[in-house]
Amino acid sequence: DTAVSQTPKYLVTQMGNDKSIKCEQNLGHDTMYWYKQDSKKFLKIMFSYNNKELIINETVPNRFSPKSPDKAHLNLHINSLELGDSAVYFCASSQDQLQGSSKGYTFGSGTRLTVV
Amino acid sequence: GESVGLHLPTLSVQEGDNSIINCAYSNSASDYFIWYKQESGKGPQFIIDIRSNMDKRQGQRVTVLLNKTVKHLSLQIAATQPGDSAVYFCAGLAGGGADGLTFGKGTHLIIQP
């Protein structure tokens, strides 16, 4: 069983569209995250969500919004997509927000978003 | 906040040799560090971690060294194999972890046959 799964794996869409990326974890972890990886492989945190508390990286545009229907899911909604949003987006989870558990964060396999 | 960086973007080593990947961090309050491996088309995978009360930790063929004095950590991979080819990231937690893991820029390790 995949621990952290994301769908879709690839997403190609036009500028201005609204899209969502889904994430589910079956590890029973308390905290989930979204990371953005740019073309230079740099990974930057966008959000963390724990027990209904959302922590947002202040550099993330408000066009991005996480939605958590339950503890096992954290979906990423993006409105009015722009060319610069093209990147690989990774979902992750951890048992303990403060220390990241003894195995750190568990990452999904990523969603490659291409905005044309 | 935490800033984590790597010295070399690309490292090429012969199969069977040992490799060392270095990483520097800026926040002396960081108390937890992790090395991740990312293969092409996949998400980062946990390799090994170390807490700030330790200066060395060993796993299977990997060793992480932490030097808090100069805020530096390294990942040593022994007897490299073709499957070790990947991008390696160091990541750190600071400020109680509320800001999440902060990643360095990554080093691309290439194993030459």
Is the predicted pLDDT of residue B3 greater than 70, yes or no? no
Smallest Cβ–Cβ distance between B98 and the set A35, A42, A97 belongs to A97
The mean predicted confidence, pLDDT, of chain A is: 91
Cα separation values, B94 from A54, B10, B28, B103, Å? 18, 27, 9, 12
Please state the rounded mean pLDDT for residues B14-35: 91
Is the predicted pLDDT of residue A7 greater than 70, yes or no? yes
B49 contacts in A (CB within 8 Å)? 102-104
How far apart CA A34 and CA A53 sit, in angstroms, is 14
Beta-carbon separation of B98 and A102 below 8 A: no
For A36-50, A53-67, A91-105, B93-107, which range has the lowest pLDDT when averaged over its residues? A91-105
Q: Hey, which of A93-97, B3-7, B22-26, B60-64 has the most confident mean pLDDT? A: B60-64
- Higher-confidence residue of A102 and B7: namely A102
Beta-carbon separation of B91 and A104 below 8 A: yes
Smallest Cβ–Cβ distance between B43 and the set A41, A45, A109 belongs to A109
Is the predicted pLDDT of residue A100 greater than 70, yes or no? no
Quickly count: other Cβ atoms within 10 Å of residue A99's Cβ: 16
DSSP B2-20: --EEES-SEEEEETTS-EE
Smallest Cβ–Cβ distance between A103 and the set B46, B99, B103 belongs to B46
